[in-house]
Structure 1
Amino acid sequence: MTGIRKKGDRAVSKKAKRVILCVMAAVLFLAAFLYYENNAIGITRFTVGSAKLPEAFDDYRIVHLTDLHSKSFGKGQRRLVGKVGKLKPDLIVFTGDLVDRRKYEAEASVILMRELTKLAPVYYVTGNHEYGENKFKPLQIELERAGVRVLRNQSGMIARGGGEIRIAGVDDPMFNRVEDGNFDKINAHLDAALEETKEAGEAFTLLLSHRPELFEAYVRREMDVTFSGHAHGGQVRLPFVGGLVAPGQGVLPKYDGGMYTEGESAMIVSRGLGNSIIPQRLFNRPEVVLVELTRQE
């Protein structure tokens, strides 16, 4: 005998379908949102003024990248390279964690750096994820072949229109197996780096150093602008609060992203590009930073 469907049964069936459709739509929206948060590149701009800056470097444009962790942004890194190219940088700096120590897959990272050297001079320093001489040495060779200037406790001068500024770069403290404590380690690295250009005296100085929590050391050395990363913007960011947690700083980190100043020193902390232990960013999209230097009388 064929059953008879009642109106109440049909109403329940329609309601169930609506619930299923709503759940599916919510799941698709959440997936799209999480993908966007992890992959849509944002641009953040800062201006740093100084009377020490030579006139020839007025309006000098620096793109700051960090913490790629071997992430790819399209074939040949074209989405990321395209973003950087539109900013027309005079200099590109990369402040560590180009690779991830759990994978150490260097192909995507080397491709990015090779493409960036076609846009402007590229300077790079190590992060904690590069640590391991047996792994890092081959990567360093590849980067130098690509035309990247790898600064390992070194410094040099950048010339432009008759003026010069200094650029210094230090290894992450992980590479120092002699001194105790990260401040002692970074100070030893700074000693070695600045010794190379001591004849430059009080020249306007850019410093590349992976760890923002060591800002006090950079201030004491009177670094004019320090570029740093490591914090990943706190990974998850809350409105009006900021980042939740960062390595080396713990919960509610002080230096999670943005520009910080103390005296005549400024530090630019990029929220970075990739992920490591936690695979998802939230309210914290991958970031390209543009810093414009201006001369102040």
Structure 2
Amino acid sequence: MAASRDTWQSIKRAAPLLGAGAGAAAALGGLALGYGMMERNAFTIRHETLPILPPGFADLRILHLSDIHLVPGQEAKKQWLRSLADLDPDLVVNTGDNLSHRGAVPELLDALGPLMGFPGVFVPGSNCYYAPRPKNPLRYLVGRNQPGNLDHRVLPWREMHTGFGAAGWVNLTNRAISRTYHGMRLDFSGVDDPHLKLDDFAGWPSGSSTGDQAPHLRIAVTHAPYQRVLDQFTGTGADVIFAGHTHGGQICIPGYGALVSNCDLPTWRARGLTYWEHAGRTTALEVSAGIGTSRFAPVRIACPPEAVVVTLTSRS
């Protein structure tokens, strides 16, 4: 009984401290949430330079967009997207997850309208096909989300793709095509969303029997940078791979970085320009931290939204 009384007295003495600690934790959590909701609209432009063009060719400026996750009424995001046309890119690469709401397509096409005046290519992500649903945000931190977490209400992705196509943007969903730019052949190969296991690599455009002897560049495009897809692109000679999906981790620790990548990509590669190695080959890998968030997790911490300008320059 004496031990029980001592324990009870200890609990009573500690209660005010525990209450104060809980209050401080709640206040800190509220501050973090408030900051995260502000940072989601702290739009940035990251610039990268990549010397991979054949010698003597003029620079090629690529604007990389990913993970817009548009919801109707997001005026700040839409205005910023319109302003990106001032960057005057030579090519726009859109790596998917454009939607987060069934009613967002008209506003998305309006926001991207100025950019659709430039040549572009695109692939879809899972949130181009299906709407997200509310879920415990802690699940994002303890392991990568699986496709089963999606709300299988089909989004109007066909309407979105039709709008992109009408503007001249090329759908690279499990397709390979070639285009000519300033006397150089650009070979593109893209895959459908690997997160939904819809990817089916189409290879590279074959061209003529002497095509590999002419100046050319191989550009690979995917939404989710799963290692199997990166290995496939790299092993077949891609010069650069564009991907999104990771949100750069979305909630990061300053000085450390991403806690998760939402796929099997190492977290230190969740944002930025790195190099992927496979089968004796090395390929530049550009992963965007994305522009939006799920409408059910509208925060970013130490990971601002971004568009990326990658300037391809000639090799020395």
The TM-score normalised by the length of structure 1 is: 0.75
Letter in 2 for 1:125: V
For the pair 1:220 / 2:235, whether they are aligned, the reply is yes
Letter in 1 for 2:299: Q
Inter-partner Cα distance in structure 1 for 2:234 and 2:120: 24
2:49 is matched with 47
Length, aligned pairs only: 256
1:85 is matched with 85
1:110 is matched with 109
Q: Shift of residue 97 of structure 1?
A: 0.5
Task: Give the alignment partner of residue 298 of structure 2, picking from 270, 279, 282.
Answer: 279
1:172 is matched with 193
Letter in 1 for 2:273: M
Secondary structure at the counterpart of residue 290 of structure 1: strand
For the pair 1:139 / 2:137, whether they are aligned, the reply is no
* Residues 151 and 234 of structure 1: CA distance in aligned 2, closer, same or farther (over 3 Å): same
Inter-partner Cα distance in structure 1 for 2:29 and 2:270: 30
Residues 136-215 of structure 1: pairs in structure 2 closer than 5 A: 136-173=157-194, 182=197, 186=199, 189-190=200-201, 192-195=202-205, 197=207, 200-201=211-212, 203-214=216-227, 215=230
Letter in 2 for 1:105: A
Letter in 1 for 2:87: L
Inter-partner Cα distance in structure 1 for 2:221 and 2:103: 22
Letter in 1 for 2:290: G
* Residues 55 and 153 of structure 1: CA distance in aligned 2, closer, same or farther (over 3 Å): farther
Q: Shift of residue 114 of structure 1?
A: 2.4
* 8 A contact 2:82–2:112 mirrored in 1: no
Inter-partner Cα distance in structure 2 for 1:241 and 1:31: 19
* 8 A contact 1:131–1:174 mirrored in 2: no
Provide the identity percentage.
27
Inter-partner Cα distance in structure 1 for 2:268 and 2:187: 28
2:142 is matched with none
Inter-partner Cα distance in structure 2 for 1:64 and 1:30: 29
Letter in 2 for 1:149: V
* Residues 248 and 106 of structure 1: CA distance in aligned 2, closer, same or farther (over 3 Å): same
Task: Give the alignment partner of residue 235 of structure 1, picking from 230, 246, 250.
Answer: 250
* Residues 46 and 54 of structure 1: CA distance in aligned 2, closer, same or farther (over 3 Å): same
* 8 A contact 2:44–2:307 mirrored in 1: yes
Inter-partner Cα distance in structure 2 for 1:140 and 1:245: 30
Secondary structure at the counterpart of residue 231 of structure 2: helix
* 8 A contact 2:257–2:268 mirrored in 1: no
Inter-partner Cα distance in structure 1 for 2:226 and 2:291: 19
Q: Shift of residue 243 of structure 1?
A: 0.9
Inter-partner Cα distance in structure 1 for 2:204 and 2:246: 25
Letter in 1 for 2:126: N
Inter-partner Cα distance in structure 1 for 2:270 and 2:124: 19
Q: Shift of residue 244 of structure 1?
A: 1.6
* Residues 61 and 240 of structure 1: CA distance in aligned 2, closer, same or farther (over 3 Å): same
For the pair 1:36 / 2:50, whether they are aligned, the reply is no
1:10 is matched with none
Unpaired runs of at least 5, structure 1? 1-25, 176-181
Secondary structure at the counterpart of residue 114 of structure 2: helix
Secondary structure at the counterpart of residue 104 of structure 2: coil
CA offsets 1:33-86 (integer angstroms, 9 cap, x no match): 444301021111111112x53633x3210010100111465379222221x223
Q: Shift of residue 242 of structure 1?
A: 0.9
Secondary structure at the counterpart of residue 280 of structure 1: coil
The TM-score normalised by the length of structure 2 is: 0.71
* 8 A contact 1:48–1:293 mirrored in 2: yes
Inter-partner Cα distance in structure 2 for 1:67 and 1:103: 15
Letter in 1 for 2:307: V
* Residues 92 and 53 of structure 1: CA distance in aligned 2, closer, same or farther (over 3 Å): same
